[in-house]
Chains A and B, each alone.
Chain A
Amino acid sequence: MPAAAAAAAAAAAGGGGGASLSPSAFIPVCTAACLLVASTSLFFVFTCPWLAVAVCPAVPPCCGILFLFVLANFTMATFMDAGVLPMANEDEDKDDEFRAPLYKNVDMRGVQVRMKWCASCHFYRPPRCSHCSVCDHCVEDFDHHCPWVNNCIGRRNYRYFFQFLLSLTVHMIGVFTFGLIYVLHHMDELWKLHCTVTLVVISISGLFLIPVLGLTGFHLYLVSRGRTTNEQVTGKFQGGVNPFTRGCCNNLEYLVCSPISPKYTARPREKTAIHIQPPFLRPGINRQLPAKVRDNGIQSQDVQNKESSVGAVDLSGVKHQASGPPPLPPKPDHGMLKSHLAAMDEMGHHIKTIIPVSIPTVPQLRPVLEAISRGSSPIPPEQLLKMSEQQVNNKSPNLRSESRESPARVSHLPPLQASAASSSLQLNSLTLSSRSLTLKHSSRHGSKSQLPAMHADGLGSNPPLGIISSSSLLAGHSSSSSSSLTYDNLVNPADPQFLTQRVAPPVGYHPHYMALGTDGTVVQRPAPHTYSPVFMGVSRQSPQPRDPSPSLQGLNSRDASPSFHGFIQREPSPAFQGLMPRDLASQSVASRDIPPPGLTMRDMTSQTLRDSLRDLGPQGLTPQKSAAAAARYDSFSKTLMASIHERREMEERDRMLRLQARSQALYGPDMGIYDIPSRRSLPPDNIRPPGSRGPTPPAYGSREFLMSTGILGYGMRTSPLSSSSTSSLTRGPKTSSSPLQSSSSSSLQSKGRSSSPAYCPPDRQTQPLPSSTSTLPRLSSSSTPSYASYATAKRSSLTYSSEGKDSVTLGALK
Chain B
Amino acid sequence: MATEFHNLQELRHSASLANKVFVQRDYSEGTTCKFQTKFPSELESRIERTLFEDTVKTLNNYYAEAEKIGGQSYLEGCLACATAYLIFLCMETRYEKVLKKIAKYIQEQNEKVYAPRGLLITDPIERGMRVIEISIYEDRGSSGSSSGSSSVSGSTAR
Q: What is the interface of chain A, defined by CB distance below 8 A to chain B?
A: 68-69, 71-72, 75-76, 85-86, 88-89, 91-96, 99-101, 104-109, 113, 123-124, 126-128, 140-141, 159-160, 163, 243-244, 253-254, 256-262, 264, 267, 269, 272, 274-283, 285, 783, 786-787, 790, 793-794, 796-797, 799-803, 805-810, 813-814
Question: Judging by beta carbons under 8 Å apart, are A86 and B128 in contact?
Answer: yes
> Which residues of chain B come closer than 8 Å to A123, judged between CB atoms?
130
Q: Is the CB of A278 within 8 A of B12?
A: yes
CB pair A800–B125 under 8 Å, yes or no, is no
13 more contacts with CB within 8 A, not counting A256-B74, A260-B77, A805-B16, are A89-B133, A113-B27, A123-B130, A127-B31, A244-B30, A244-B31, A262-B99, A278-B140, A280-B15, A280-B139, A797-B13, A800-B141, A802-B140
Chain B residues within 8 Å of A159, by CB: 77
A-B contact pairs, 22 of them (CB 8 A): A85-B128, A94-B152, A107-B28, A108-B31, A126-B27, A126-B31, A128-B31, A254-B69, A259-B68, A262-B95, A274-B115, A278-B13, A280-B117, A280-B118, A282-B117, A790-B8, A790-B9, A801-B4, A803-B141, A807-B2, A807-B16, A814-B126
Give the nearest-CB partner of A84 in chain B.
B128
Which residues of A have CB within 8 Å of B137?
276, 280, 808
Question: In the assembled complex, which residues on chain B have CB atoms less than 8 Å from the CB atom of A109?
Answer: 28-30
Query: Does B147 count as interface, using CB distance less than 8 angstroms?
Result: yes
Whether the pair A259, B15 counts as a contact (CB closer than 8 A) is no
- In this complex, what residue of A is CB-closest to B107? A272
Give chain A residues whose Cβ lies under 8 Å from the Cβ of B47.
Answer: 283
The reply to whether the CB of B111 lies closer than 8 angstroms to some CB of chain A is yes
- The answer to whether residues A95 and B152 also contact, given A259-B73, A278-B12 and a CB cut-off of 8 A, is yes
User: Would A104 and B157 count as touching, CB distance under 8 A?
Assistant: yes
Q: Are A267 and B1 within 8 A (Cβ)?
A: no
How distant is the Cα of A595 from the Cα of B81 in the complex, in angstroms? Answer: 95
Determine the residue in chain A with the shortest Cβ distance to B155.
Answer: A96
The answer to whether A264 touches B128, judged by C-beta atoms less than 8 angstroms apart, is yes
B140 to chain A, nearest CB (A): 5
B76 neighbours in A (Cβ, 8 Å): 259-260
Q: Tell me which of A92, A262, A264, A283 contacts B22 (CB under 8 A).
A: A92
Q: Are B66 and A259 in contact (CB under 8 A)?
A: yes
The reply to whether B115 and A278 form a contact with Cβ atoms under 8 Å apart is no
Q: How many Å lie between the Cα of A275 and that of B107 in the bound state?
A: 12
Question: Do A282 and B130 have beta carbons less than 8 Å apart?
Answer: no
Which of A105, A106, A272, A279 is close to B142, meaning CB atoms less than 8 Å apart? A279
Contact present for A274 and B107 (CB under 8 Å): yes
Contact A95 B142 (CB under 8 A): no
Question: Shortest CB–CB separation between residue B11 and chain A, in angstroms?
Answer: 5
The proximity string for B residues 84-127 relative to A, scoring 1 for CB distances below 8 Å and 0 otherwise, is 11000000011110010000000100110001111010100111
Question: Assuming the A-B contacts A92-B131, A106-B27, A259-B76, are A278 and B118 also in contact, with contact meaning beta carbons closer than 8 angstroms in the complex?
Answer: yes
Closest-by-CB residue of A relative to B7 is A790
Are B156 and A106 touching (Cβ within 8 A)? yes
Distance between Cα atoms of A108 and B6 in the complex (Å)? 54
Most A Cβ at <10 Å: residue of B45, B125, B155: B155
Cα A715 to Cα B85 with chains together (Å): 98
- Cβ contact of A91, chosen from B15, B20, B30, B144, cutoff 8 A: B20
Asked whether any CB of chain A lies closer than 8 Å to the CB of B61, the reply is no
Contact: B120 with A806, CB < 8 Å?
no
With A256-B74, A800-B141, A803-B146 as known contacts, state yes or no: A127 contacts B27, CB within 8 Å: yes
Interface pair A72/B84, CB less than 8 Å apart: yes
Contact: B81 with A94, CB < 8 Å? no
A379 to chain B minimum Cβ distance, whole angstroms, is: 41
| Nearest CB of chain B from residue A262's CB, rounded to whole Å | 5
Measured CB to CB, the nearest residue on chain B to A805 is B16
Secondary structure call for the B interface: loop
Q: Is the CB of A796 within 8 A of B142?
A: yes
Q: Among A68, A91, A806, A813, which residue has the most Cβ atoms of chain B within 10 A?
A: A91
**Bound Cα distance from A803 to B11, whole angstroms:** 15
* Cα-based distance from A796 to B146 in the complex (angstroms): 13
> Could you tell me the distance in whole angstroms from the C-beta of B145 to the nearest C-beta in chain A?
8
Q: Give the distance to chain A from B31, nearest Cβ to Cβ, in Å.
A: 6
Q: Is the CB of B1 within 8 A of A809?
A: yes
Counting chain B CB atoms within 10 Å of each CB, the highest count among A88, A104, A787 belongs to: A88
Find out whether the CB atom of A94 lies under 8 angstroms from the CB atom of B146: no
- Min CB–CB distance A369 → chain B (angstroms): 40
* B96 CB contacts on chain A under 8 angstroms: 262
Contact indicator B85/A76 (Cβ below 8 Å)? yes
CB contact list, B40-63 vs A, under 8 A: 45-48
Q: Are B11 and A108 closer than 8 Å at their CB atoms?
A: no
Q: B14 an interface residue at 8 Å Cβ cutoff?
A: yes
Which of A106, A163, A260, A807 makes the CB contact (< 8 A) with B95?
A260
Q: A94's contact among B16, B27, B77, B150, by CB below 8 Å, is which?
A: B150
Chain A residues with CB under 8 Å of B118's CB are 276, 278, 280-281
Using CB atoms, name the residue of chain A closest to B147.
Answer: A805
State the CA gap A61–B93 with chains docked (Å).
Answer: 29
Write out the residue numbers on chain A whose beta carbons fall within 8 Å of the beta carbon of B18: 805
Query: Given the complex of chains A and B, what is the CA–CA distance between A283 and B47 in angstroms?
Result: 5
Q: Known contacts A85-B130, A797-B11, A810-B115: does B152 contact A92 (CB below 8 Å)?
A: yes
Pick from B118, B122, B139 the residue with the most CB of A within 10 Å. Answer: B139
Q: Does B37 contact A (CB under 8 A)?
A: no
Is there an interface contact between A258 and B157, defined as CB atoms closer than 8 Å?
A: no
Q: Which residue of A254, A258, A281, A797 contacts B141 across the interface (Cβ within 8 Å)? A: A797
Q: Are B30 and A243 in contact (CB under 8 A)?
A: yes
Residue of A nearest to B74 (CB): A257
- Kindly list chain A residues whose C-beta atoms are within 8 Å of the C-beta of B66: 259
**Which of A99, A786, A808: most chain B Cβ within 10 A?**
A808
B133: min CB distance to chain A, Å: 7
Query: CA–CA, A126 to B67, complex, Å?
Result: 17
Min CB–CB distance B42 → chain A (angstroms): 13
Considering the chains assembled together, what is the distance between the CA atoms of A201 and B93 in angstroms? 38
Q: Lowest 8 CB-CB distances: which A-B pairs, in order?
A: A805-B16, A807-B14, A800-B144, A278-B139, A280-B118, A85-B128, A72-B84, A257-B74
A813: B residues at CB distance < 8 A = 17, 120, 122, 135
What separation, in Å, do the CA atoms of A774 and B28 have in the docked complex? 73
Determine the chain A residues whose CB is within 8 A of the CB of B155 once the complex forms.
Answer: 95-96, 100, 104, 124
Closest residue to A125 on the B side, CB-wise?
A: B130
Q: How far is the CA of A93 from the CA of B96 in the complex (A)?
A: 28
Among B46, B67, B81, contact of A283 (Cβ-Cβ < 8 Å): B46
User: With A and B bound together, what is the CA distance between A807 and B120 in angstroms?
Assistant: 13
On whether the beta carbons of B150 and A104 are closer than 8 Å, the reply is: no
**Shortest beta-carbon distance from B29 to chain A in Å:** 7
Q: Which residues of A contact B138 (CB under 8 A)?
A: 805
Q: Are B151 and A95 in contact (CB under 8 A)?
A: yes
Let me know if A282 and B46 touch, CB within 8 A.
yes
Contact partners of A814 in chain B: CB under 8 A: 122, 126
* Residue in B73, B125, B129, B156 whose beta carbon sits within 8 Å of that of A258 in the complex: B73
Which residues of A have CB within 8 Å of B2? 802, 807
Q: How far is the CA of A297 from the CA of B13 in the complex (A)?
A: 32
Q: How far is the CA of A106 from the CA of B158 in the complex (A)?
A: 11
Q: Is the CB of B142 within 8 A of A278?
A: yes
CB neighbours of B68 from chain A (8 A) = 259
Give every chain A residue within 8 A of B20 (Cβ-Cβ).
91-92
How far, in Å, is A763 (CB) from chain B's closest CB? 11
- B1 nearest in chain A by CB position: A807
Residue of B nearest to A786 (CB): B8
B20 to chain A, nearest CB (A): 5
Residue numbers in A under 8 Å from B126 (CB-CB): 86, 264, 267, 269, 814
Distance from B22 Cβ to chain A, minimum over Cβ atoms (Å) = 6
- Say which residue of A108, A140, A783 sits within 8 Å of B27 (CB atoms): A108
Q: Which residues of A contact B122 (CB under 8 A)?
A: 813-814
Whether the Cβ atoms of A280 and B130 lie closer than 8 Å is no
Chain B residues closer than 8 Å to A243, beta-carbon distance:
30
